[in-house]
Structure 1
């Protein structure tokens, strides 16, 4: 049985992949520059998600307005863990959440068809004071996954869902450092 709270991600010894969905203008500018640049907003929280299927649910497989392009953002594990070390659970005291540089929330993980599963996926909100670090220091590469997303969505919509997993990134349990275990809700 899968533990209720567990980070699952595509990662290697040095980096972790998180996913974001954007309108074409933001995605195109970022891909050309190899990092986030205007019109990406550096003045508001941005949410990164290591769960590909959760983002597919959220963006409706890149069909939701303003989320038509899906980017795989490979960031350093040092940056990822720095963000987590500054995080507060969104269920914490409201004053602590308001002061936090990073927010963490856990939402039900999703199947490729969008059904809620019985375990949770982490979402990490990077506050405006750390967005430059994400864009300039932590980001290693950006990859446009939109064509792959559209192929997988077509397979799922046309009754060929069994063929879709080969188009999905491989995710495995991320080893959360003991110092960051406070990000797992009580009872998890």
Structure 2
């Protein structure tokens, strides 16, 4: 997996390095011309065979909604660095960009936003019929503290869930060892070494119409 900083650091007037300004909402992901990497965490009984075979096993419930996260650190926040029950195996799932873009283009916001849907009833109808849901959650730093901007969490249901598992998935890698290594460095206070191991996430060019990509939260 490619690692390294996602963007060059700016320098403040005091000479202190600072991260470049971020918009309120942005999709950040490790991606290539063909694929985008998302993260999920499962119990070993499901996660280990998925990584071994490079595809989700029959036991993976394709009829249920599944949530994918392009942000590695948000996934670490969600699974507690791979320590929470039934989330001990952290997977990096490389999926087809065309499928990812299709899900974004056919998604609805998971919560009502009057700036995007003035008619609440219309939003509820759209939500019920959408194969994907967009949720904007606070991005996390290495200590898993909230940052003042948000990253994508994408829920897939019905057609989107089935296509994710059986059509879009290109490769599945068990990145639990990476999660544990980064966590150990954070606990030891070596944040620079921990940051150097992070996947090289950079702004993803979301398709036009991605729900509530611009408005502030």
Query: TM tier, shorter chain?
Result: over 0.9
- Verify the 8 A CA contact 1:26 1:38 in the aligned structure 2: no
Partner residue in 2 for 1:148: 178
Partner residue in 2 for 1:137: 167
SS in 2 for 1:44: coil
State how far apart, in whole Å, the 2-side matches of 1:13 and 1:49 are: 19
Alignment counterpart, residue 124 of structure 1, candidates 145, 154, 157: 154
Q: How many residues align?
A: 187
Partner residue in 1 for 2:194: 164
The answer for unaligned runs of 5 or more in structure 2 is 1-20, 113-122
Alignment counterpart, residue 45 of structure 2, candidates 15, 20, 25: 25
SS in 1 for 2:25: coil
Partner residue in 2 for 1:61: 81
Alignment counterpart, residue 60 of structure 2, candidates 18, 21, 40: 40
State how far apart, in whole Å, the 1-side matches of 2:133 and 2:76 are: 21
The Cα RMSD (Å) is: 1.4
The 1:45/1:181 distance shift into structure 2, 3 A limit, reads closer
State how far apart, in whole Å, the 1-side matches of 2:106 and 2:126 are: 11
Work out which of the two has the higher radius of gyration on C-alpha atoms and give 1 or 2: 2
SS in 2 for 1:103: strand
* 1:86 to partner: Cα distance: 1.1
Which runs of structure 2 are paired with 1:66-145 in the superposition (5 Å)? 66-92=86-112, 93-145=123-175
- Verify the 8 A CA contact 1:108 1:120 in the aligned structure 2: yes
- Verify the 8 A CA contact 1:88 1:183 in the aligned structure 2: no
* 1:185 to partner: Cα distance: 5.4
Q: What CA deviation, in whole Å up to 9, does each residue of 1:30-65 have, x standing for no partner?
A: 123210113221121000110001000111110111
* 1:166 to partner: Cα distance: 1.8
- Verify the 8 A CA contact 1:61 1:149 in the aligned structure 2: yes
State how far apart, in whole Å, the 2-side matches of 1:70 and 1:50 are: 13
State how far apart, in whole Å, the 2-side matches of 1:185 and 1:44 are: 29
* 1:132 to partner: Cα distance: 1.9
